Amino acid sequence: MLRDIHTEQKDCDARIIVMAASTRTGSMNRALARRIADELEGGGESVHVVDLADHLMPLYDGDVEDRDGVPPAAAQLAKRLSSAEVLVIVTPEYNGAFTPLLKNSVDWMTRHDTRVLAHLRILLASASPGRGGGARAVDMLRTWMGNISVEVAEHSLSVGAAEVADDGTISGVDPRALAEFTDQAVRSDAEASS
């Protein structure tokens, strides 16, 4: 029991949150999120992987909000993000865009706190079975983040021709591209000492 409490506390304190915008069993974006988290943890970072399946919310509707208020799942996720410094979003590409799951989750969270993402350094990644790797979804996500005044790190990571093996790991990830990507989540010496 004590161990569970400590694990939960460590999760809440994580400096970096990695979140896949898919709840699908066998999702390649969830697998990429795990790969990114492993890379960051290997570098000594404290990381928590958010599973949006644990934070399911109804489709946003003003009538639902008037009737039931902001869903507890949205407030809980917003609270979790509030103590983090970095958010890595890993999105599938659906018809050239990021997923409605992501849009809906963020929309609800902004009803809890309009500036819910404002304090975060955001990194964007995607994976797809196609050659483009979901880069168009990342481009749209970058534009949207700009529209809501959220800063996004320069380098994104898009994994094309991705596959998930039986053990749940993702193939096709270029180690150098991954390292360049995750470096953006690491605190610089200047930041760490200030």
Ligand X SMILES: Cc1cc2nc3c(=O)[nH]c(=O)nc-3n(C[C@H](O)[C@H](O)[C@H](O)COP(=O)(O)O)c2cc1C
Q: How many CA atoms lie within 13 A of 185 on its CB side?
A: 32
The site for ligand X, by CB under 6 A, has a size of 15
Scanning the chain, the segments in alpha helix (DSSP H) are 2-13, 28-42, 62-68, 72-82, 100-112, 135-147, 175-183, 189-193
- Check residue 25 for interaction with ligand X (CB under 6 A): no
Residue 182 CB, nearest approach to ligand X (Å): 19
Figure out which of the listed residues 95, 147, 149, 194 binds ligand X, where binding follows CB under 6 A.
95
Residues 27-56, mask of contacts with ligand X (x by CB under 6 A): xxx---------------------------
Cα-atom radius of gyration of the chain, to the nearest Å? 16
List Cβ neighbours of 62 (8 Å cut-off, separation of 6 or more).
Answer: none
Estimate to the nearest angstrom the gap between the alpha carbon of 154 and the chain centroid. 16
CB nearer ligand X, residue 9 or residue 95: 95
Check residue 93 for interaction with ligand X (CB under 6 A). yes
Q: Which residues bind ligand X (CB under 6 A)?
A: 22, 24, 27-29, 92-96, 128-130, 132, 134
